[in-house]
Amino acid sequence: MKIINLLKQDTLSLSFEVFPPKTETSFESVKAATGEIASLHPAFMSVTYGAGGGTSRYTLDIAKDIKEKYNVPSLAHLTCVSSTRETVHEKIAAIREAGIENVMALRGDIPAGREGEDRSRWDYRYAIDLVRELRECGADFCIGGACYPEIHPESADQREDIRRLREKVEAGCDFLTTQMFFDNNLLYNFLYKIREAGITVPVIPGIMPITNANQIERAIKLSGSFMPQRFKSLVDKFGHDPAAMKQAGIAYATDQIIDLYANNITNVHVYSMNKPEVAEKIMANLSDILGK
C-alpha cells in the first residue's frame, strides 16, 4: 500500500518509526520490538537507514518483516551522501525486489571528517539527486522527503531552505515528514510558509516522545529543536525520576498530537524509537480519538 493513499482520511491516524539494530546480536530483539509496535496496527511504519545508532544493513529486512508478517505498510529509509552510485543502485534494486513501495529519500548527514571535501566529485550531494534516481529507475515508488520546521542546520535561512525543499518536491516527493519539534506553533508557521511557496504535498509532522532525560540532549543536538519553557519545566521537575519522566514525556507528546488534530492535521508520525510501550501508551491515551 502506498503511503500517499493512506493520507486522505479525515480522522486521526498514527504511524511509528523504528531503527534497525546496531549489531547482529540485537537483530532478534529489535525485530520483536518492531513486531509489537506493528501489532498495534499503525497506519504505516518507517525504518531508518543508519540513523539513531542502527546500521543500514537491516533496514530492508525489518521493513519487509513489517509488511509481510504484520500486514502494515512500511517505509524504507535510504540515504545517499556517503554512498557510491553503484551501492545506491543496488539498494534501490533490493527495495524493489522486496516489494517495498515506499521509500524515504534522504541525503544523510555529511560523514565526520569529510565536511571540507570538494563535493562536486561526490556521486550524491543532496537528497534531490536520490529523489530523481528513484523517479527514473522504472519502479513506481511512493517517495517521501524530509523537511525542517526550524530549518535544516546547514541552511543559511528559511527562505533558502524552503526554496530547496520546493525543488526536492518538484523532483518527485509525494509527501514530506518533518523533523521533530516541541512547539506546535513552529509547525503551523512552517506550513503557512511552505504553502505560500507553492509546496502542496501532504506534510506529516514528526513527534518525538522524550521519555528520559538523557535522550533530550541527544535529540536537541541532532535536531537543533527549540525547547519551549513548558517542556523545560517538565524536565526540571521529572528528569531525575525515570518513571515520572517517561509518563510526563508521553503525556507531552500526546498533548502535541491532540493539538495537531484539533488543527485538522490527521496524520502524525511518532518517533517511537523501538519502544513498544511508548507506542502503546500513546495509542491508549488517544484511544477514543483514534476510535480504537
List, by residue number, the catalytic residues.
Answer: 17
Give me the least distance between CB of 32 and ligand FAD, in Å please: 21
The partner residues of 142 in beta bridges, in order of sequence, read 102
**Residue 91 in the binding site for ligand FAD (CB under 6 A):** no
Q: How far apart are CA 188 and CA 154, in angstroms?
A: 22
* The C-alpha cell that represents 198 in the structure block: 507553492
Residue ranges of the alpha helices (H) in 101-241? Answer: 127-136, 158-172, 184-196, 213-223, 229-238
Q: How far apart are CA 147 and CA 139, in angstroms?
A: 24
Strands 175-180 and 102-106: unpaired
Residue from 34, 158, 179, 274 binding ligand FAD (CB under 6 A)? 179
What is the pattern of x (binds ligand FAD, CB under 6 A) and - over residues 51-70? x-------------------
**Residue 126 in the binding site for ligand FAD (CB under 6 A):** yes
Q: How far apart are the first and last CA of the chain?
A: 21
Residue from 64, 107, 275, 281 binding ligand FAD (CB under 6 A)? 107
What is the pattern of x (binds ligand FAD, CB under 6 A) and - over residues 16-55? --------------------------------xxxx----
Give me the least distance between CB of 12 and ligand FAD, in Å please: 19
Give me the least distance between CB of 288 and ligand FAD, in Å please: 28
Q: How far apart are CA 207 and CA 16, in angstroms?
A: 10
Residue from 20, 149, 206, 249 binding ligand FAD (CB under 6 A)? 206
